[in-house]
Amino acid sequence: MTVKEPALREIILDILLEVLEKGKYSHVILSQALTKYQYLEKQDRSFIKRVVDGTVEYRIQLDYILNSYSKVKVNKMKPVIRTILRMSAYQICHMDRVPDSAACNEAVKLAEKRGFSGLKGFVNGVLRSISRGKDNLVFPDDSIRCSMPEWLASMWKSTYGEETFRRMMESFLKDRPLMARLCLNRAEKQQILDSLGAQGVTAKDSRYADDVICLEGVDYLEGLEAFREGWLQIQDLSSSLAGDAAGIKDGDYVIDVCGAPGGKGLHAADILGGTGMVEIRDISEAKVSLIEENIGRSGLTNLRAAVCDALSFDPDSEEAADVVIADLPCSGLGIIGRKPDIKYNMTPEKLHDLACLQREILSVVQRYVKPGGTLVYSTCTVNREENEDNMRWFLEHFPFEPVNLKGRLGEKLSEPSMESGYIQFLPGIHPCDGFFIAVMKKCG
């Protein structure tokens, strides 16, 4: 039975209060809520997700709109009223299927239900003014138009130019497809596709990898047979290509140093085809527990998980690994399209601190690579200080040389930088998240 819309909007309000007022991660709180309300019909759950994601994503733009039509500025409003107005303004400005009158009326009811009867007129007046004026809105700059912090917009324009910046921003604001890597050692591709189709999920091939597909119509991941049976792992195309770039060979010993939730390590074990060994490490028992859960579902036996701080040197691993995968903590700017609150929590100072942390970790884990072995450095960000600059610094300080990636990532993918050992994926330019991969061989 479909839940009445006011009840849905109460759920949305509670989620957004946790995210926008208490600073909780939107993807975590939303996932918890959708699990809690699993009994809701698919269209209701989709509505909740759309309004939550959109309100967080467009917060800068929505605040500009609200400030343009309200005498009380957003930062002076009561948190509940501020959140009701944001989520309702999003519906009015960005959801054609929701009548403006419905968005206004339900906002008024919600304000009253939350104990703000005295502000019903204010809520109604602001939202109806927005409804009347939305077609004439003019945004003063790209920061507000794209709902991106000004310093980030400026950085990307300077780095990539106006056209690439525009395409990146458009990509961030579009719905992101859920991608999955097929575990073809567990099941045939057609068997997996048939299973997904039987459960109402549409699968489309990705552009660069035959074993990565785009999924549409996934309502509850854990309900999919293909997921439960370990026939697929949720992993973006860009992330899966890190395993392909590594050049892993039968019998290799692979260490994944910051590996939770385990996607790249699992991919490495798949590539090994039951040979060799992959050790996936991370800093806490909680993260290792998540890795072990994914290992258990995969059915693979040539890998293990271990608690290990990547900043602390492990003497038993010195020059032991054929391949070290270092997918390190980063700013996450490449996945803003999936986790929009990243852009509000990041600062230039944090970017620099993360780049320094990455250098510290690289200084430690490079010692685990055998002479002639391979180090894969990757991040899910679009920031030269963390990516190209750190690669350049690393090659200047340690006995490694870049590996030509031509041919390692398939015939369809070709970028000039690949000959120099790295590739930067950009949202809107490539059909995937923003992601950086560098591959370097230890001399000797």
pLDDT 10s digits, 261-304: 999 999 999 999 999 999 999 999 999 999 999 999 999 999 99
Q: Tell me the mean pLDDT in the region 154-168.
A: 97
What's the rounded Cα separation, in Å, for the pair 390 and 131? 48
Strand intervals (E) in 162-236: 178-182, 202-205, 212-216, 232-234
DSSP 253-282: EEEETT-TT-HHHHHHHHHHTT-SEEEEEE
Q: Is 211 annotated as a binding residue?
A: no
Peptide bond into 261 cis (omega under 30): yes
Which residues, listed in sequence order, are joined to residue 205 by a DSSP beta bridge? 213
Catalytic residue list contains 380? yes
Q: Tell me the mean pLDDT in the region 323-328.
A: 98
The CA–CA distances, whole Å, from 253 to 93, 187, 265, 280, 316 equal 53, 25, 11, 11, 13
In the block, tokens 């032991």 appear at: 320
Q: Left if phi > 0, otherwise alpha if psi is -120 to 50, otherwise beta: which for 407?
A: left
What's the rounded Cα separation, in Å, for the pair 84 and 10? 9
Confidence of residue 220 (pLDDT cuts 50, 70, 90): confident
Q: Tell me the mean pLDDT in the region 177-202.
A: 95
Could you tell me the pTM of the whole model?
Answer: 0.94
Q: Is 236 annotated as a binding residue?
A: no
Residue type at 384 in one-letter notation = R
Stated as kind and residue range, the H or E segment containing 395 is helix 388-397
Confidence of residue 393 (pLDDT cuts 50, 70, 90): very high
What's the rounded Cα separation, in Å, for the pair 66 and 77? 11
Contacts of 168 (CB under 8 A, 6+ apart): 156, 160, 382, 426, 427, 428, 429, 434
Q: Which of 93, 183, 380, 432 is catalytic?
A: 380
pLDDT at res. 349: 98
Q: Is 282 annotated as a binding residue?
A: yes
Alpha helices in 221-347, H assignment, sequence order: 225-228, 237-245, 263-272, 285-298, 342-345
What's the rounded Cα separation, in Å, for the pair 253 and 269? 10
238-266: per-residue pLDDT in tens?
A: 999 999 999 999 999 999 999 999 999 99
What's the rounded Cα separation, in Å, for the pair 394 and 295? 32
Inter-residue contact 332 to 339 (CB < 8 Å) = yes
List the structure tokens of 93: 């400005």
List the structure tokens of 152: 């980030």
